[in-house]
Structure 1
Amino acid sequence: MSKPMVLFLCTGNSARSQMAEAFLRHLAGDRYDAHSAGLSPKGVHPLTIQVMDEVDIDISDYQSKPLNQYLGKTSPKWVIFVCEKAEQSCPHVWPFSLLTESWKIEDPVACTGDELERIMKFRSIRDLIEARILEWISENKNQLETKE
């Protein structure tokens, strides 16, 4: 049986959705097929790569992907919006997806400040996303088991 697809969406596919994809692959890649995309991909932010490397998850080969790479070509079981702007821009991207969630996580790329403040913001968002992924895996464990 194939793994159910989870698609994380945000605006730039440069930080939050990349982190979410990486954590789900790392923590439950044997159970889920994790992907991410953005409305206007901007490239993976260097601080995203750095803070994920700090927790031993290498995403240096990850790419920002446009949403249209998935439209009409895939049928994710879950579509998870990690930012409000993406959710507002495409609330019904996959009307046939079984589940849609909205996490509304602050964009670390928008942080202004010196280098230390910016890296601290990226770390904070990384830790928040990791906790949210762990919670999500736990919440969906029973649902996954009942579908198999």
Structure 2
Amino acid sequence: MKKVMFVCTHNFRLSQMAEGFARTLGENKIAVTSSGLAPNEIDPITVKVMSEIGIDISNQTSKPLSDFNADDYNAVISLCGCGVNLPQEWVLRDVFEDWQLDDPAGHSIEYFRRVRDEVKERVVNLIMSLN
């Protein structure tokens, strides 16, 4: 089973969405974790927009990338463009992608939903490509 690390600077919006989708849609296909370079509390709006589509991420936590070993992962996905700031060992995994998605912070709930749906589409494509 492929192991995927989703990384975002703060691990509180985009990477949490990706982790939630990957856990739900990739169950028994991939193992998934998310982390951040400067982790923070998960954004409550992120929890809300995920719950609207039946995915509960309220028990997920924000974790520092430094708690993990790059050699344990096959794929690393940066969601916010922070890939340029990742230690080299993370960028050199079998699969490395930097999706550079928009941060929905400060935008309307509709904007959060649009970003959520884009994250879902990318996660679905990732799961298919890894299997």
TM-score, normalised to structure 2, is: 0.92
Query: For the Cα contact (< 8 Å) 2:4–2:73, is it kept in 1?
Result: yes
CA separation of 1:9 and 1:95: change in aligned 2, threshold 3 A: closer
Query: For the Cα contact (< 8 Å) 1:8–1:79, is it kept in 2?
Result: yes
Partner of 2:113: 123
Q: Deviations over 1:24-62 (max 9, x none)?
A: 110012110111001111111000100000010011111
Could you say which structure has the greater relative contact order, defined with CA pairs below 8 angstroms and 6 or more residues apart? Answer: 2
Structure 1 residue runs without a partner (length 5+): 142-148
Cα distance in 2 for residues equivalent to 1:95 and 1:60: 29
SS at match of 2:90: coil
Cα distance in 2 for residues equivalent to 1:106 and 1:69: 26
Which of 90, 100, 118 is matched with 2:86 structurally?
90
CA radius of gyration, larger in: 1
> Following superposition, which runs of at least 4 residues in structure 1 exceed 4 angstroms of deviation?
none
SS at match of 2:11: coil
Cα distance in 2 for residues equivalent to 1:77 and 1:5: 5
Q: Report the Cα offset of residue 98 of structure 1.
A: 1.3
SS at match of 2:34: strand
**Identical residues among aligned pairs (%):** 35
Q: Report the Cα offset of residue 136 of structure 1.
A: 1.7
Cα distance in 2 for residues equivalent to 1:108 and 1:47: 10
Cα distance in 1 for residues equivalent to 2:98 and 2:22: 16
Count residues with an aligned counterpart.
131
Query: For the Cα contact (< 8 Å) 1:75–1:97, is it kept in 2?
Result: no
Partner of 2:33: 35
SS at match of 1:56: coil
Structure 2 residue runs without a partner (length 5+): none
TM-score, normalised to structure 1, is: 0.82
Q: Deviations over 1:99-135 (max 9, x none)?
A: 11111101112x35xxxx2x11111110000111112
Query: For the Cα contact (< 8 Å) 1:8–1:36, is it kept in 2?
Result: yes
SS at match of 2:53: coil
